[in-house]
Amino acid sequence: MRYIKDIKEGDNVSEHYLCASKQILKTRVGKTYYSLLLQDKTGSMDTKIWELSDGIANFEAGDYVKVEGSVVSFQGGLQLNVRRLRKSQTGEVDPKEYVPTVEGDMEQMYQELLGYVDKIGNAHLSQLAKKFFVEDKAFAERFKTHTAAKTMHHNVMGGLLEHTLGILRMCEFLADAYPTVDRDLLFVGALFHDMGKTRELSSFPILEYTDEGQLVGHIVMAVEWIGEKIREIPGFPAPLANLVKHMVLAHHGELEYGSPKKPAVLEAVLLHYADNIDAKVQTFGRILSETDKESNWSYYQKPFESSIRRTRY
């Protein structure tokens, strides 16, 4: 495959890319043209279609497209001028080439997650977790590939899975370290805490907040979802149902971060910290990876209210 990062001025390009955005514009003389942003996992490229001829098939933002064109230099950047374009067909493209993806193997990671599901001893909680992660295939598939955030941390394909797994491992350590912790409740909280994001954010390649996501938010969406599944489980104790919902509701830790309740059980306190740690480690790494290799210090970083530094001495 011809990666965008390798394209140079003067190249002729014939390749499949993801159309990340499409604008219909007019030149000064009133002629319609398209301005596109094409992307693959290595970068993106300003693209124009000046002639809307027969060679240009119908397509929309979000489609994979096969383009043919040539690359010119314009105002200090590169611009691809397209002569022919069609939508890519199933099988022609491998989505992993077009969106950033976690490093680990997603199938293997999901198996590890199911291992934690199996460790849940309480019958009601076990049943509840399996209703999502084992029995609901569509959910499982979506969960496996979704992102954990629109920006900042784990905003890659599989990011939600990776993040959830990082938290589960930490929760296992914490349950081992502090014997008063209820391991089952903690695991269920970790598994469920961000699953509302599969509906709050649309999937790759186009990452947008959904209307429901903006109006209701992933925290309350997850609580409703959990409530629905619980109603399908006969004899699920009401106090336990409330505790599970509370784990999700309180995991942002502070009202001003969108949790309508402060953590009131120890497991909710711990889940909040585990979530925070995993997100901060990932954000820290991402910032340093974007910082000049020569420099120990990054620019000022709002999430850390400080410049951050490589640990190098």
Contact by Cβ (8 Å): 210, 202: yes
**6 binds a second copy per the rule CB under 8 A:** no
Spatial separation of the C-alpha atoms in residues 69 and 78, rounded to whole Å? 12
Q: Which of 37, 56, 114, 308 binds a second copy (CB under 8 A)?
A: 308
**171 binds a second copy per the rule CB under 8 A:** no
Q: Please report how the helices 106-118 and 159-177 are oriented relative to each other, as an axis angle in degrees rounded to 10.
A: 30
Q: Which of 95, 100, 205, 258 binds a second copy (CB under 8 A)?
A: 258
Binding mask 234-253 for a second copy (x = CB under 8 A): ---xxxx-xx-xx--x----
Which DSSP string corresponds to 33-77?
EEEEEEEETTEEEEEEE----TTB----TT-EEEEEEEEEEETTE
Q: Which of 153, 166, 192, 201 binds a second copy (CB under 8 A)?
A: 166
What does each C-alpha distance from 33 to 50, 71, 236 come to in angstroms? 5, 17, 59
For a second copy, the closer CB: 28 or 137: 28
Binding mask 40-79 for a second copy (x = CB under 8 A): ---------------------------------x------
Q: Which of 105, 214, 232, 295 binds a second copy (CB under 8 A)?
A: 214
**200 binds a second copy per the rule CB under 8 A:** no
Q: Which of 31, 111, 215, 299 binds a second copy (CB under 8 A)?
A: 215
**109 binds a second copy per the rule CB under 8 A:** no
Return the SS3 of 296.
coil
Which DSSP string corresponds to 136-166?
-HHHHHHHHH--S-SSSSS-SBTHHHHHHHH
Quote the least distance from Cβ 86 to a second copy, whole Å.
Answer: 26
**212 binds a second copy per the rule CB under 8 A:** yes
**224 binds a second copy per the rule CB under 8 A:** yes
Spatial separation of the C-alpha atoms in residues 191 and 271, rounded to whole Å? 10
Stretch that binds a second copy, among 10-18, 110-118, 133-141, 263-271 (CB under 8 A): 263-271
Give phi and psi for 166, each to the nearest 5. -60, -40
Quote the least distance from Cβ 60 to a second copy, whole Å.
Answer: 14
Is the backbone of residue 135 left (phi > 0), alpha (psi -120 to 50) or beta?
Answer: alpha
Quote the least distance from Cβ 28 to a second copy, whole Å.
Answer: 8
Q: Cβ-count burial of 241 within 10 angstroms (0-12 exposed, 13-18 middle, 19+ buried)?
A: middle
Stretch that binds a second copy, among 14-22, 98-106, 142-150, 280-288 (CB under 8 A): 280-288
Quote the least distance from Cβ 66 to a second copy, whole Å.
Answer: 28
Q: Please report how the helices 266-289 and 159-177 are oriented relative to each other, as an axis angle in degrees rounded to 10.
A: 130
Amino acid at 42: T
The torsion of the CA quartet 208, 38, 107, 244, rounded to 10 degrees, works out to -10
Residues from 72 through 91 that contact a second copy (CB under 8 A): 73
Would you give the end-to-end CA distance of the chain in angstroms? 40
Q: Which of 170, 188, 195, 201 binds a second copy (CB under 8 A)?
A: 170
Query: How many CA atoms within 13 Å lie on the side-chain side of 145?
Result: 14
Query: Which residues here bind a second copy, judged by CB under 8 A?
Result: 9, 28, 73, 166, 169-170, 173-174, 177-178, 180, 182, 185, 211-212, 214-217, 219-220, 223-224, 227, 237-240, 242-243, 245-246, 249, 255-267, 269-270, 273, 276-277, 280-281, 284-285, 296-297, 304-313
